[in-house]
Structure 1
Amino acid sequence: MHTNHWKVIPAVIASGILSFSGVLIETAMNVTFPTLMTEFNTNANGVQWVTTGYLLAIAIIVPISSFLIRNFSTRQLFIVSNMLFLVGIILNSLSPSLTILLLGRVLQGIGTGIALPLMFHIILTQSPIKSRGMMMGIGSMITSLAPAIGPTYGGILLNTLGWRTIFWFLIILVLISLIIGLMSIPNETVSRNEKFPINTFAFLAIGLSLSLLAVEKLSLIMLVLGIVSLSAFYIANKKQALLHLTLFKNLNFNLYMYSFLVYQAILLGLSFILPNYLQIQLHVNASAAGLFMFPGALIGAILAPISGSLLDHFGQFRPVVIGLIISTIALILMVSYFQQLNFWTLMFMHMLLMVGIGFSYANLMTVTLATLPPSQTADGNGILNTTQQFVGASATAIVAQLITTAVHASPETGMIVGAQKGIGGLTLLIVLSLMLFVGAHFYNKKVG
């Protein structure tokens, strides 16, 4: 690949704006779920596919990101991702049914699935090593600002102009992203010498989809079919690689990736639980439910580049372990006192959690990729983004199922019980994550 005239920071910002738009619309839609359930006559399990379908589309597309980056120019991929996202927005704003709404979300997911790894690819290949932690923090800050703004943005528009306008306002952002990208990402010459592994890709897509449907439908048959399809993917991937799964032989990569994925489950799980709990159980309106998420998510976004600088100066252990400890304490307090918490005390717990996430989430991605040699970074980035979106979609589907089941069992208290069970499961994951990260650090220190 021959490149010239790169403008790295504007290129990161351009791809970051598109990624930002994808996360913004994802979290903005969470506050609309009670409204969508009424308008489209569905329940929590049905409406959660507005988020889950979107995340699944990302999870299916991201695995081919390394293939796309090797065989197409960054500029080409950037333009395609923008166009797909734009078409998805227009479909969503006009959708007369839940099916059309989901189709638009899938197109947005495909666009975001191309844009997310593209942004981190630009950072990892074009930024100097000495400032890479800070640049990863900036990239994470761009996408982390979206959860801070998304619920507020969605809630205000829902209460004033209607949920469809949530999509219209994003057209301006997408066009700004396109203009900046065209000015900063140069034309490149890329040699296309690989055949796309269609069978491998198909088995992976079917396996991931069936696995999520198995969770949503509580179907053993779908789970078995999903496992069979993923097994077929593993065999086909050996013959014609889509993802270089040999990365999973790296123990440190596995351990650090686990902690990173736990955070993704927490972020997506809580982004479903809390806005719905506030509206359905505490009878808070959509605007207030959206504003509830703003302070904590803003804290996480601001801390991302700061924590990246701390990693550059002090190493990986201290900022990550401090963040994991704070996050663990926050979730333990939240699940222990959940039924006694009101709007403001629950907001404080969420803010405390986001302090911990701000210190460690972006750094965990940097640390995980740092365990790999440069030749494997693109594949590691693809695997991280794939598993990240699938875990997010799974977490959303699981907490939706817990809440739906609890509400069916007891309409009066089901929302409280289901929400508390979901948060309890996330708490167990973060406790295990902290133990594994600290154990891995001292083991590496002892043997290294």
Structure 2
Amino acid sequence: MQRKLDAKLICSIFAAGLMSFSGVLIETAGNVTFPVLMNDFHVNMATVQWMTTGYLLVASIIMPLSAYLKRNFSSRKLFVTAATLFVCGLVIDAVANQFIFLVLGRVIQGAGAGIAIPLMFNIILERTPLDKIGLLMGIGTMITAVAPALGPTFGGLVVNTLGWRYIFIFIIPVMIISLLMGIASINDESKKIAHTQLDTAGFLSIALTFIGFIFAFSNLSTILQKPLMFILPLAVGVICLIIFIKHSLNTATPLINIRVFKNTKFTQGITAYFIFQVNTLGLSFILPNYV
């Protein structure tokens, strides 16, 4: 396929980027709503955190599948699936009358975001002219980096003027626009589908790793009262991570090729980005609730 930076490519990147931006925006905007949700649904802070934890858990489990999904499905099908899941999750959250439904909506959105964020970068890497990849990768990264900064402000304005449900209601038309743009611009149905086999052992081990770590750090605030609620999930996460690394190094078709970490510059870059994201997302949770 000839690579050229035309209107369709720009539109497809913008459509996927808009979905990724919306996913991260809602995640950080939702942190501002915690005190209001605790009052409306009569739940404590540990419980209300599951609105974010459930979202991140599902998104982190789906993202490692991006390489497998890219090989076995067209970008168009993946985009439509992600957008549909996201819109369904938004509608559920907008009308939720019980906290469990609010978490369910966030979990469904997490599945959509887990597909959408890697998809945006896959479109850039596969279809962009080689001399423009750096520029568009930077723009794509900026999209996901700007959203956490805007989220608390957006959430605070909406919650204080209209109510927390409008955080989800306002994003629904944005996602519909993104879906229509993607349908019109993403067209790779002629792509040869590989039909590769899923690395089940790798997927299960990395999924349990994320589950263990997320459960552990979700219970970090109660470590003095309930130390086992932190230690046991952390141990599960560490053990499963070791299993995943050993498995990935000894299989011909790993879910994630971790050998890239042998490249020092890559490892340094990804470490810096990881620290930046932890700081940004952590502060976007702590500051609004503290204020």
Counterparts of 2:127 and 2:188, CA distance in 1: 15
- Pair member with larger Rg: 1
Contact kept in structure 1, 2:74 and 2:193, CA below 8 Å: no
Query: Within 5 Å, which residues of 2 pair with 1:29-428?
Result: 29-188=30-189, 189-217=191-219, 218=223, 219-237=230-248, 238-239=250-251, 240-278=253-291
Instruction: Kindly tell me the number of residue pairs found equivalent between the two proteins.
Output: 278
Identity rate, percent: 44
Deviation per CA, 1:375-413: give whole Å up to 9, x if none.
xxxxxxxxxxxxxxxxxxxxxxxxxxxxxxxxxxxxxxx
What amino acid is the match of 2:187? P
Deviation per CA, 1:306-352: give whole Å up to 9, x if none.
xxxxxxxxxxxxxxxxxxxxxxxxxxxxxxxxxxxxxxxxxxxxxxx
Counterparts of 1:252 and 1:145, CA distance in 2: 24
- When residues 76 and 6 of structure 1 are mapped into structure 2, their CA distance, relative to the original with a 3 A threshold, is farther
- When residues 67 and 2 of structure 1 are mapped into structure 2, their CA distance, relative to the original with a 3 A threshold, is farther
- When residues 125 and 243 of structure 1 are mapped into structure 2, their CA distance, relative to the original with a 3 A threshold, is same
Counterparts of 1:71 and 1:151, CA distance in 2: 37
Q: For CA contacts below 8 A with separation 6 or more, give which structure has more relative contact order.
A: 2
Counterparts of 1:258 and 1:97, CA distance in 2: 39
Q: State the shift of 1:3 in Å.
A: 9.3
Structure 1, 105-114 or 134-143: larger mean CA deviation: 134-143
Contact kept in structure 1, 2:3 and 2:128, CA below 8 Å: no
Contact kept in structure 2, 1:89 and 1:108, CA below 8 Å: yes
Q: State the shift of 1:234 in Å.
A: 3.0
Structure 1, 228-237 or 59-68: larger mean CA deviation: 228-237
1:7 matched to 2:2? The reply is no
- When residues 214 and 156 of structure 1 are mapped into structure 2, their CA distance, relative to the original with a 3 A threshold, is same
Given the two structures, how large is their TM-score scaled by the length of structure 2?
0.87
Q: State the shift of 1:253 in Å.
A: 1.5
Counterparts of 1:100 and 1:250, CA distance in 2: 44
Counterparts of 2:138 and 2:205, CA distance in 1: 34
Counterparts of 2:265 and 2:274, CA distance in 1: 14
Counterparts of 1:71 and 1:2, CA distance in 2: 21
Counterparts of 1:157 and 1:221, CA distance in 2: 39
Q: State the shift of 1:207 in Å.
A: 1.9
Counterparts of 2:45 and 2:263, CA distance in 1: 39
5+ residue gaps, structure 1: 279-448
Structure 1, 263-272 or 5-14: larger mean CA deviation: 5-14
Partner SS for 2:240: helix
Counterparts of 1:266 and 1:115, CA distance in 2: 23
Contact kept in structure 2, 1:6 and 1:186, CA below 8 Å: no
Counterparts of 1:204 and 1:102, CA distance in 2: 23
Residue aligning to 1:19: 20
Contact kept in structure 1, 2:71 and 2:195, CA below 8 Å: no
5+ residue gaps, structure 2: 224-229
Q: State the shift of 1:250 in Å.
A: 1.8
Contact kept in structure 2, 1:6 and 1:185, CA below 8 Å: no
Counterparts of 1:235 and 1:98, CA distance in 2: 40
Q: State the shift of 1:74 in Å.
A: 0.7
Contact kept in structure 1, 2:17 and 2:120, CA below 8 Å: yes
Given the two structures, how large is their TM-score scaled by the length of structure 1?
0.58
